[in-house]
């Protein structure tokens, strides 16, 4: 009986359907978020509105906002966990330290996404209530709330950027993930980290688009067993 398979390799490189679904759902959630941002929420998303106008717009579109936050934060947060787990498993035997560090940032990111989603929806309801009795206070509350949710969930893309960067570096030169995916990951991640510089957080959109491609591609990659170049 001759043995032709390499059990350890197939274990590490085995396709992961849950990871793939996570990646594809994460990409879809991102696409949904951006699509809504440039269509029904475009007036709001430009940031040109005053606080009073923003509150009025938000209260007119509460249902849409509710759905938007649900998808881009809560669904997205759930989706990245299996993706992070699968990517970690694919890399941990060959680059344990980078794979571990990357996974920690992914889980922190998921936690932040839950925190943002919950704060978003509860805060919106509180603003709506306050607006009925004291519109001035509602405006002030809106401004505080927008700062907190923006800080946690989007204004700075630091944590997501760290994860994608560490995964790409861990996979670099190992053949475990395609080189193109790693290049895309590094470029997107660096733009994510740049959002930290005040005044440059518009670069976040590059991170957004880059990560959509990265999530979708990583999802597809996880469905297949790669050819490892030796």
* Residue at token pair 């998303």: 45
108 in contact with other proteins (CB under 8 A): yes
Measure CA of the first residue to CA of the last residue in the chain; give whole Å: 26
Task: Pick the stretch among 64-72, 81-89, 107-115, 173-181 that binds other proteins (CB under 8 A).
Answer: 107-115
Task: Pick the stretch among 125-133, 134-142, 169-177, 180-188 that binds other proteins (CB under 8 A).
Answer: 134-142
Task: Pick the stretch among 60-68, 77-85, 88-96, 209-217 that binds other proteins (CB under 8 A).
Answer: 88-96
67 three-state secondary structure: helix
d(CA 164, CA 167): 5
d(CA 187, CA 203): 12
150 in contact with other proteins (CB under 8 A): yes
Q: Are 80 and 109 in contact (CB under 8 A)?
A: yes
Give 151 or 183: the residue with its C-beta nearer to other proteins.
151
d(CA 190, CA 158): 9
Give 155 or 178: the residue with its C-beta nearer to other proteins.
155
115 in contact with other proteins (CB under 8 A): yes
Copy the structure tokens of residue 185. 């990951």
Task: Pick the stretch among 14-22, 55-63, 81-89, 109-117 that binds other proteins (CB under 8 A).
Answer: 109-117
Query: Given candidates 79, 127, 162, 189, which one binds other proteins under the rule CB under 8 A?
Result: 162
Which residues have CB under 8 Å from 152's CB, separation 6+?
Answer: 112, 115, 116, 119
The closest alpha carbon to 221, from 13, 27, 11, belongs to 13
List interacting residues with other proteins (CB under 8 A). 1, 3, 6-8, 11, 51, 93-94, 96-97, 100-101, 104-105, 107-108, 111-112, 115, 139-141, 143-144, 146-148, 150-152, 155-156, 158-159, 162, 196, 198-199
């Amino acid at each position: 009986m001759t043995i032709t398979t390499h059990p350890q390799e197939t274990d590490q490189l085995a396709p992961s359907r849950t990871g793939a679904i996570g990646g594809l759902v994460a990409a879809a959630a991102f696409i949904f978020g951006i699509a809504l941002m440039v269509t029904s929420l475009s007036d709001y998303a430009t940031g040109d509105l005053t606080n009073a106008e923003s509150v009025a717009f938000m209260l007119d579109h509460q249902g849409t906002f509710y759905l938007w936050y649900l998808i881009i934060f809560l669904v997205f947060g759930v989706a990245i966990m299996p993706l992070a787990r699968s990517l970690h498993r694919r890399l941990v035997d060959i680059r344990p330290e980078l794979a571990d560090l990357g996974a920690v940032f992914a889980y922190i990111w998921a936690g932040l996404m839950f925190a943002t989603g919950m704060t978003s929806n509860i805060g919106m309801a509180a603003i709506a209530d306050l607006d009925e009795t004291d519109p001035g206070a509602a405006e002030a509350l809106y401004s505080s709330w927008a700062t907190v949710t923006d800080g946690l969930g989007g204004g700075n893309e630091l944590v997501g950027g760290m994860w994608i960067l560490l995964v790409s570096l861990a996979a670099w030169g190992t053949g475990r993930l395609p080189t193109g995916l790693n290049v895309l990951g590094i470029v997107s991640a660096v733009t994510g980290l740049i959002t930290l510089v005040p005044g440059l957080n518009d670069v976040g959109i590059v991170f957004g688009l880059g990560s959509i491609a990265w999530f979708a591609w990583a999802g597809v990659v996880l469905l297949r067993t790669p050819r490892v170049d030796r």
